């Protein structure tokens, strides 16, 4: 089956109260770990590449790695540009065979964001590619865009209807309290639960509900949605790493989001932590090893374990692959 757009995936996810995982890929082992997990659970998956990933690996390598994953695994896969910074990058991905692009105009004024997004939508739709846009700003590093916590702001529900209709975008990334990276909250922003675990402030589900009311049926995207799983942070720290106070979004909140209009949940930091944990653990146990296959494979295994966990307990997308494949011809 060829790469597909996200349209059928989002239709099924919206109607079925689940979300599709969008995982960042930078090399072969990451692609393999994610797609073998999705295949084992009959789940669709979105593989996304940032501008940084394209620079690191070369876009053509990434496209072919993802196409190889499609040949090996019988599941629906979309190839998406994450945080496209400008028209030229979006056009280059569309020309390269991506089926979905994000244009991130969130740091522009409302009007400029509309105009620039619209330009990308026109080129994308003419080439049968869908577009994710962003309104509101998340804190953290978004490729070339580095937003400090004080400049981040929530999406304004009163703006979404006009933005979606004027841009013609196919999905909308919103800001409701998530942020990029493995250090999403400071410990002093959190409370401790009965087990002594730091719990960050709740996402703004009230803002999400307002947005849903303004654009019913429209797919919403959540960026910065890694949960920073303590197991992998502990393995890293127990094996020579130093990640103090890494805090993510609690999984019960992500599960709640996945049941709403949120159809795409972006995960990158959790993959980085899982791979690093596998490699560090291996090196500590086997300091004599120097064959990259020996130490990268455990990183790939942890990525697979992590993605299976996400699909089963956060996203809820398992066993929806066949239904989505059946819908693809309609969209
Ligand atoms: O949102 C950002 C993603 O985690 C991609 O990060 O630009 O370092 O590839 P990157
Ligand atoms: P995390 O840093 O929370 O994994 O977010 C990734 C992301 O939003 C990619 O666009
Ligand atoms: Zn993002």
* pLDDT tens profile 272-330: 999 999 999 999 999 999 999 999 999 999 999 999 999 999 999 999 999 999 999 88
DSSP 150: G
Q: What is the mean pLDDT of the chain?
A: 95
Q: Judge whether 137 and 147 are in contact, CB under 8 Å.
A: yes
**Residue 301 is among the residues annotated as catalytic for this protein:** no
Output the CA–CA distances (angstroms, integers) from residue 154 to 138, 200, 271, in the order listed: 8, 17, 26
Which residue matches tokens 């790469």?
3
Q: How much distance in Å is there from the Cα of 321 to the middle of ligand 3? A: 24
- Answer yes or no: is the C-beta of 224 below 6 A from any ligand 2 atom: yes
Element (H, E) at 232: helix 230-238
* Cβ neighbours of residue 301 closer than 8 Å, sequence gap 6 or more: 33, 278
Give 307-322 pLDDT, tens digit per residue.
999 999 999 999 999 9
Q: Helix or strand or coil: residue 3?
A: coil
Average pLDDT over residues 167-185: 97
List 15, 74, 82, 238, catalytic entry: 82
Would you say residue 164 has pLDDT above 80?
Answer: yes
- Answer yes or no: is the C-beta of 268 below 6 A from any ligand 1 atom: yes
Would you say residue 222 has pLDDT above 90?
Answer: yes
- Answer yes or no: is the C-beta of 83 below 6 A from any ligand 1 atom: yes
Give 61-97 pLDDT, tens digit per residue.
999 999 999 999 999 999 999 999 999 999 999 999 9
Least confident piece of the model among 68-72, 127-131, 137-141, 252-256: 137-141
**Which one, of 168, 162, 161, lies nearest residue 116 by Cα?**
168
Residue 143 is predicted with a pLDDT of 47
140-142 and 145-147: which strand pairing? Answer: antiparallel
Least confident piece of the model among 7-16, 141-150, 207-216: 141-150
DSSP assignment of 42-57 equals: T--EEEEEEHHHHHHH
Residue with the smallest CA separation from ligand 2 atom 9 is 266
Residue 148 is predicted with a pLDDT of 67
Give 13-68 pLDDT, tens digit per residue.
999 999 999 999 999 999 999 999 999 999 999 999 999 999 999 999 999 999 99
Locate the DSSP E strands across the chain: 20-24, 45-50, 77-84, 100-103, 130-135, 140-142, 145-147, 171-174, 191-192, 198-199, 220-222, 262-267
Residue 329 is predicted with a pLDDT of 85
Q: Helix or strand or coil: residue 163?
A: helix
């Amino acid at each position: 089956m060829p790469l597909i757009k996200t349209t059928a995936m989002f239709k099924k996810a919206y109607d079925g109260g689940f979300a599709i995982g969008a995982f960042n890929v930078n090399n072969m082992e990451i692609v393999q770990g994610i797609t073998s997990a999705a295949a084992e659970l009959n789940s669709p998956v979105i593989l996304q590449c940032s501008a940084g990933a394209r620079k690191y690996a070369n876009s053509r390598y990434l496209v072919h790695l993802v196409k190889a994953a499609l040949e090996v695994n019988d599941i629906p896969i979309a190839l998406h540009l994450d945080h496209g910074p400008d028209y030229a990058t979006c056009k280059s991905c569309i020309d390269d065979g991506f089926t979905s692009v994000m244009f991130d105009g969130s740091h522009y004024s409302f009007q400029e964001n509309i105009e620039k997004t619209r330009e990308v939508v026109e080129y994308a739709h003419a080439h049968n590619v869908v577009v994710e846009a962003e309104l509101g700003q998340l804190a953290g590093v978004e490729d070339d865009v580095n937003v400090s916590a004080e400049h981040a702001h929530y999406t304004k529900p009163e703006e979404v209807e006009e933005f979606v209709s004027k841009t013609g975008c196919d999905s909308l990334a919103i800001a409701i309290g998530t942020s990029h990276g493995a250090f999403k909250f400071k410990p002093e922003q959190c409370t401790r639960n009965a087990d002594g675990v730091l719990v960050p402030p709740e996402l703004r589900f009230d803002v999400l509900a307002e947005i849903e009311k303004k654009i019913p049926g429209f797919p919403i995207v959540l960026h910065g949605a890694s949960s920073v799983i303590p197991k992998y942070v502990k393995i890293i720290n127990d094996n020579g790493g130093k990640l103090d106070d890494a805090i993510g979004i609690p999984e019960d909140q992500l599960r709640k989001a996945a049941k709403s209009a949120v159809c795409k949940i972006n995960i990158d930091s959790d993959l980085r932590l899982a791979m690093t944990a596998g490699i560090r653990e291996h090196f500590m146990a086997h300091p004599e090893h120097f064959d990259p296959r020996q130490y990268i494979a455990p990183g790939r295994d942890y990525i697979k374990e992590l993605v299976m966990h996400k699909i089963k307990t956060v996203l809820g997308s398992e066993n929806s692959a066949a239904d989505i494949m059946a819908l693809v011809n309609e969209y």
